[in-house]
Amino acid sequence: MNDGPDSADTPRGVEVIQSYLRTLETSPGVYRMLDDHSRVLYVGKARNLKARVSNYARLNGHSRRIERMIRETASMMFLTTRTETEALLLEQNLIKQLKPKFNVLLRDDKSFPNIIVTNHAFPQIKKHRGAKSEKGQYFGPFASAGAVNRVLNQLQKAFLLRNCTDSQFEGRTRPCLLHQIKRCSAPCVGKISEEDYAASVRDAARYLSGKSTEIQEKLAADMMDASEAMEFERAAALRDRIRALTQVQTAQGINPQTTAEADVIALYMENGQACVQVFFIRANQNWGNKDFYPRVGDDVGPAEVMEAFLGQFYDQKEPARLLLLSHAIEDEDLMCQALSDKLGRKVEISVPQRGEKAELVEGALRNAKESLGRKMSETATQAKLLRGLAEAFGLDGPPQRIEVYDNSHIQGTNAVGAMIVSGPDGFMKNQYRKFNIKGDDLVPGDDFGMMKEVLNRRLVRLKKDDPDRSKGLWPDLMLIDGGAGQVSAVAEIMREQGVEDVPFVGVAKGVDRDHGKEEFHRVGERAFALRHNDPVLYFVQRLRDEAHRFAIGTHRAKRAKAQMANPLDEVQGVGAARKRALLQHFGSAKAVSRANLADLKAVDGVSEALAERIYAFFHERG
pLDDT of residue 405: 92
Tell which wins on pLDDT, 142 or 576.
Answer: 142
Residue 410: the pLDDT is 58
Residue 110 pLDDT greater than 50, yes or no = yes
Per-residue pLDDT tens over the stretch 149-180: 888 887 888 888 998 888 888 878 888 888 88
How far is the C-alpha of 320 from the C-alpha of 312, rounded, in Å?
A: 15
Q: What is the rounded average pLDDT of the residues 41-48?
A: 93
pLDDT at 326: 96
The proportion of the chain whose per-residue pLDDT surpasses 90, expressed as a percent, equals 32
More confident residue, 248 or 140: 140
> Among residues of the chain, what percentage have pLDDT more than 70?
90
Q: Which of 44-58, 273-287, 400-414, 586-600 has the lowest mean pLDDT?
A: 400-414
User: What pLDDT, on the 0 to 100 scale, is given for residue 212?
Assistant: 62
Least confident segment among 117-126, 242-251, 425-434: 242-251
The identity of residue 463, as a single letter, is K
pLDDT for the residue numbered 586? 83
In this prediction, residue 129 carries a pLDDT of: 87
The pLDDT assigned to 213 comes to: 64
pLDDT for 64-89, tens place per residue? Answer: 888 899 999 999 999 999 899 899 98
What's the full length of the chain, in residues?
622
* Confidence check: pLDDT of 438 > 50: yes
Quick one: pLDDT at residue 29?
93
Q: What is the mean pLDDT of the chain?
A: 85
State the burial class of residue 138 (Cβ atoms within 10 Å of its Cβ: 0-12, 13-18, 19+). Answer: middle
pLDDT of the residue at 4: 46
pLDDT one-digit tens code per residue, 555-565: 787 777 666 56
Asked which of 25-39, 317-331, 408-422 is least confident by mean pLDDT, the reply is 408-422
Max distance between CA atoms of the chain, in angstroms, equals 93
**Residues 280-290, buried b or exposed e (16+ Cβ, 10 A)?**
bbbbbbbbbbb
* pLDDT number for residue 445: 57
Confidence tier at 12 by pLDDT (50, 70, 90): confident
Lowest mean pLDDT among 70-79, 397-406, 481-490: 481-490
Could you read off the pLDDT of 185-219 as tens digits, one per residue?
999 999 999 998 998 898 888 878 766 666 777 77
Question: Could you read off the pLDDT of 359-394 as tens digits, one per residue?
Answer: 999 999 999 999 999 888 888 889 999 999 999 999
pTM: 0.71
Mean pLDDT over 246-268 rounds to 75
Q: Residue 484: which pLDDT band, with cuts at 50, 70 and 90?
A: confident
Give the model's pLDDT for residue 199. 87
> Which phi and psi angles does 32 have, rounded to 5°?
-125, 135
CA 442 to each of CA 348, 413, 457, 495: distance values in angstroms, whole numbers, following the listed order: 60, 11, 15, 21
> Cβ distance 582 to 604 under 8 Å?
no
Q: Tell me which of 34 and 7 has the higher pLDDT.
A: 34
| Average pLDDT of span 225-246 | 75
Q: Confidence class of residue 32 from pLDDT cuts 50, 70 and 90?
A: very high
Q: How far is CA 186 from CA 196, 316, 579, 585, in A?
A: 12, 37, 20, 22
**H/E element, 114:** strand 114-118
